[in-house]
Amino acid sequence: MTVIRLAILIAAGACMAVSGTDDLANPGAKSTSQYVLGPNDQISVEVVELPEFNNRSYRIDADGSVSLPLIGRVPAAGLTVAQFQTALEGRLKSQVRNPHVVTGMIEVRSQPVSVMGSVNNPGTEMLQGPKTLFDVLAMAGGLKPDAGDVIKITRQPDEGHLALANAVVDPATGTTTAEVNVRDVVDLRDAGANIAVRPHDAISVPRAQVIYVIGNVRKAGGFALSQNRRVSALEALSLAEGMSPNAAPQSARIARRVPGNTTSRQQIPVDLKRILAGKAEDVTLLPDDILYIPDNAARRTTGKILETALATASGLVIWRGF
Could you tell me if 153 and 177 are in contact, meaning their C-beta atoms sit under 8 angstroms apart?
Answer: yes
Query: What sign results for the dihedral spanned by CA atoms 167, 172, 175, 179?
Result: negative
* CA-based torsion, 169, 170, 174, 178: positive or negative: negative
Quick check: 125 pLDDT over 80? yes
Q: Give the pLDDT band of residue 95 (cuts 50, 70, 90).
A: confident
For the chain, the residue count is 322
**Local confidence band at 17 (pLDDT 50, 70, 90 cut-offs):** very low
What is the per-residue pLDDT for 189?
81
7-20: average pLDDT: 38
Q: How confident is the model at residue 159 (pLDDT cuts 50, 70, 90)?
A: confident
- What pLDDT, on the 0 to 100 scale, is given for residue 28? 37
Superfamily of domain 209-319: Outer membrane lipoprotein wza domain like (3.10.560.10)
From CA 213, how far away is CA 318, in angstroms rounded? 11
**Mean pLDDT throughout 123-129?**
83
Sheet containing 168-169: give its strands across.
123-126, 112-117, 202-205, 150-155, 176-181, 168-169
Which of the four CATH numbers 1.10.3720.10, 3.40.50.11720, 2.60.120.330, 3.10.560.10 does domain 7-24+111-205 have? 3.10.560.10
311: left (phi over 0), alpha (psi -120 to 50) or beta: alpha
Give SS3 for 47.
strand
Using DSSP, state whether 319 is helix, strand or coil: strand
Model confidence over 214-261: pLDDT tens digits? 989 999 888 888 777 789 999 999 999 999 988 999 999 999 988 887
Query: Are 7-24+111-205 and 209-319 in the same CATH fold?
Result: yes
Strands 42-47 and 57-59 turn out to be antiparallel
pLDDT at residue 176 tops 90: yes
Domain extent listing, the chain: 7-24+111-205, 37-107, 209-319
- Give tens-digit pLDDT for 24-38: 434 333 457 878 888
Is the CB of residue 40 less than 8 Å from the CB of residue 110?
yes
pTM over 0.75: no
The pair phi, psi for residue 134, each rounded to 5°, is -60, -45
Residue type, 114: S
pLDDT of residue 307: 62
CA distances 152 to 116, 149, 164, 280, Å, are 10, 10, 11, 41
Reported as a single tens digit per residue, the pLDDT across 37-77 is: 888 899 999 999 999 998 899 999 989 999 999 899 999 99
pLDDT at 23: 43
What's the topology of domain 37-107? wza like fold (3.30.1950)
Give the model's pLDDT for residue 270.
95
Full DSSP string of 197-244: P-TT-EEEEPBPEEEEEEESBSS-EEEEEPTT---BHHHHHHHTT-B-
Question: For the segment 193-209, what is each residue's pLDDT rounded down to a tens digit?
Answer: 999 999 899 999 998 88
* pLDDT exceeds cutoff 90 at 6: no
